[in-house]
Structure 1
Amino acid sequence: MPPPLTAERLAEAMEVSQRSLYRDIDSLRAAGAQIDGERGYGYRLVEDIALPPQTFTREEMEVIALGLSEVKAMRDPAMSVAADAVLSKVAATLPSGRDQQLLHAISRVYRPDRHIQSPAFLDVVREACWHEYALDIGYADAAGTISARTIYPLAIMYTDHTLTALAWCCLRNDYRMFRLDRLREARRGTQSFRPRRAAMLRDYIAKLDASAAREPAQI
């Protein structure tokens, strides 16, 4: 039997923080994976990770179908392919007959008026978010004036008409939103902000929530 792998080695191999690794191990255990070990000792997969048949209720399956349908309506090619893959994988874990209820769920999203075009640098921004490295960008404002920025991309926000990067702007030394359709260039920078992305995103969301709470109610 192979020796257990330490959390440090596993996190390095998966390119995630140890905190994220511990959270993922807890999720896998909750889903039925038999993983031996503990923090400070190491981990070993005891048996195959294949999950037992899932027992979603009809309403829970509708939620899965509706959520994946919303993802496909975002017009993000990579996420659309991933949504189809998730649907197939979840259906494969369902008991016979229940898979058809998922694949033919009554809930769907239909947005014929959504005109989001996949931005040229969407994949570049997504990779930078995942791997937590800075991007050097050329960004055009509403008037078309282009400025050079270095940003720490934290998340991609999908709205009805555009995709926006929530980021830390090193030029302004503050959180900013950048419309992806206004990026004129985007390349990997020399800085890394690992493992601060999750904490920074929580801080930014908290600031946005606080700002929204201060706005006067519309009558």
Structure 2
Amino acid sequence: MRTLPKPVTAARLAEETGVSVRSLYRDIDSLRAAGARIDGERGYGYRLIEDYALPPQTLDRLEIEALALGMAEVRAMGDPDLAAAAASVVAKVAATLPDDREQHLFHCVSKVYRPEARYAPAQHLGLIRQACWREEALTIHYTDERGSGTLRTILPLAIIHTERRLVVLAWCRLREAFRMFRIDRIVEARVEGGSFRPGRASLLRDYLEALESENATPATRSDA
């Protein structure tokens, strides 16, 4: 109900949640009993007026503009997982705003116009993101700018969004040093099975400190 066009029919909600329509009706009654303000009825559709599961937000107009602009930029990146997450964030925030602020969120002054996605689809982006979260080593087949391929085992630390490409910051076990790998040059990737937890935060801090001391940027230093 937060994300779908309103009013949302029971059939559509049942399809989204994977339950029967009869179960969906019971769920609506349970949510109302728990404090959710849900407008609508059977045969017409439902609209979430007030979400009891989320605290009310007191955002001013400029904060709403910043939120809407930031989430629109994320949706324009070309990462379908982050795009869906951005839409969910907007819907959750909207559910906690007064009516006038909710309308401002959906009809904000600040807009993003990007005819093409900023980044080309990255085949292994989801796996790399999960490995960063879980602090898991990855084995990658990497192709450098000359077309030469190497097999590396890396400890992925962070994904950097530069102007036109995605880069993973990592500790490379082959080089025994910090390295940057362009994600579009990773031909294959698999979880190695070894965990370096806890370690990502300290390794990333050391890497960023090294970059700062060398006056380098993620866009200029890489393991090409």
CA 1:199–1:211 in structure 2 vs 1: closer, same or farther (change >3 Å)? same
1:13-45 CA-partner distances (Å, limit 9, x unpaired) = xxxxxxxxxxxxxxxxxxxxxxxxxxxxxxxxx
1:52-107 CA-partner distances (Å, limit 9, x unpaired) = 31110111111111111111121111000110011000110111221111111111
> For residue 214 of structure 2, what is the aligned residue in structure 1?
211
Structure 1 window deviating more from structure 2 (67-76 vs 77-86): it is: 67-76
Give the whole-Å Cα distance in 1 for the aligned partners of 2:65 and 2:207: 32
Q: How far off is 1:190 after superposition?
A: 2.8
1:79 paired residue among 74, 79, 82: 82
> For residue 189 of structure 1, what is the aligned residue in structure 2?
192
Show the 5 A alignment for 1:64-213.
64-112=67-115, 114-212=117-215
Matched residue count:
167
Could you tell me which runs of 5 or more consecutive residues in structure 1 were left unpaired when the two chains were aligned.
1-48, 214-219
CA RMSD across the alignment: 2.0
Could you tell me which runs of 5 or more consecutive residues in structure 2 were left unpaired when the two chains were aligned.
1-51, 217-224
Q: How far off is 1:193 after superposition?
A: 0.8
Give the whole-Å Cα distance in 1 for the aligned partners of 2:181 and 2:62: 37
Show the 5 A alignment for 1:14-53.
50-53=53-56
Tell whether the 8 Å contact from 2:68 to 2:108 is kept in structure 1 after alignment: yes
Give the whole-Å Cα distance in 1 for the aligned partners of 2:57 and 2:128: 34
TM-score relative to the length of structure 2: 0.70
Larger Rg computed on CA atoms = 2
TM-score relative to the length of structure 1: 0.71
Show the 5 A alignment for 1:50-61.
50-61=53-64
